[in-house]
Each structure stands twice: as structure tokens, then as C-alpha cells.
Amino acid sequence: MIGKNYISLLRENILFKDLEEEKLAGFLTAFQEEIWPKNTCNITKTPTLFKFYIIAEGRVKIYRVDPESAREFTLFLLKKNDIFDVLCLLENCEHKVFYETLDEATLLSVPIKIMREWIVKYPQINKSLLPYMGKQIRILEEYTSNVVLSDISSRLAKLILTNINKKSKKLELINDLSNDELANLIGSTRAVVNRHLQQFKKDGILKISRKKVEITNLELLLKQAEKNHFSG
């Protein structure tokens, strides 16, 4: 059982938002609060085969690693109210990915068995899963599309653009990541990302300081996102 202050979290969660207030309180009794320190990896933690997680705070990356080259790339960058792992939830087989916290993260966990019972019992949850998965498919299609059709500088520009908060006009979610993590997000390597960041800086597109990116010329950034050596 965990604190009632998490009800407002569930109320905004894509899976639970359509359920009545009393039900939500009931659900909370099954959840457990877990604090994962920064850089906690799922290899050393209870695997997602047995627990289903909701992120209450912090960021978690879902990533793959090529065992030979040790190169890593990030499939999803999860934030508050994101959930994992849906694939393990649906099928009892392993999902060949790793999880790692980028910050100290607060997670709500529930035994995956119970979560499965809920899906059967509450059609709303089942129904809500569809648009969630649809969104993931769209993200992955876009990701693949970019990796195949766009060069690194274009992908880097797009990555930055999609993480600009429309209201504040500031870079969010990825603004404090190292060059290494940025590279993982676009399927490249640290050195190459840095090379392009330096070029962006020279071009007056952005300012960089340690683990910090600030856009100074949005228009040029947009152009950079479209520019592509594959095209004429």
C-alpha cells in the first residue's frame, strides 16, 4: 500500500484515467513504491517479467545493446506516467531490452499477474492500451524512418526539435543529457554527435555548455533538420 497522493498520478495515467475515483483508491493498495537510484539497471533488479511499473518521477530509458560492439541505443525515453513493460504484460515471453534510470526515479510497481487480472476485469484498461501501443508504433516507425533516410545532423536536429516545449520554447527532457546519451537516442556515437554539435554552434544554431543545450536560432535548426546529404 502506498500514499494516497498517488491518486492524482493514476488519474492522469493513460491506462487508469477512465476509471472511477473509488476504484483508483482500491488499485493503489496493490501498488508498491520503489525508489531506484540514478543509473539503476534492470539486470540487477527484479525483472519486468514479474512486475509492471508506472513512473511517478524521473526518467527511464529502454535500450538495446549489441553484445559484440557494446554499442547501445535507446528505443524509448520514458518519463512521468509512462509505463513498462507492455510487451511483457501481453505475452509471457521475454522482451529483449534493458532498462536504466537516468535520474533517481520513483516507480509504482504491481505484480504483473494482478495487472493482467485488471485488464480482464476492467475493459477500460484494455481499451486504453490500444492507443498507447499505437503511439509506440508511430514513434518506432518515425525512428526507423529517420535512421534509414536521414543523416546524423538531421536526426540530431530533429531530436532537439521534438523536445522543445511549445509553451516555454525551452528544451526539455533531454536538455541535461551527455553527448553519449544523445548519441544513443539517434543511433550514433558520442564523437560524431559532438562533431555535429560543434558545427551547430559554429552555425549559430545553439549554445552548449556542459550537459546543457540552448537553442539560439530556431529557424536555422529547422533548416538543419530538413537538410540531408542523401537528398540532392
Considering the complex, what minimum distance in angstroms separates the CB of residue 158 from DNA? 12
Residue (96 or 202) nearer to a copy of itself, CB? 96
Residue (158 or 196) nearer to DNA, CB? 196
Residue with cell 542523401: 230
The listed partner (DNA, a copy of itself, none) that binds 91, CB under 5 to 8 Å by sort, is a copy of itself
Considering the complex, what minimum distance in angstroms separates the CB of residue 196 from DNA? 7
Rg (CA), the chain: 19
Footprint on this chain of a copy of itself (rule: CB under 8 A): 64, 66, 68-69, 71, 73, 75, 86-87, 90-91, 97, 123, 126-127, 129-131, 133-134, 136-138, 140-141, 143-145, 147-150, 187, 228, 230-232
The listed partner (a copy of itself, DNA, none) that binds 110, CB under 5 to 8 Å by sort, is none
Considering the complex, what minimum distance in angstroms separates the CB of residue 7 from a copy of itself? 26
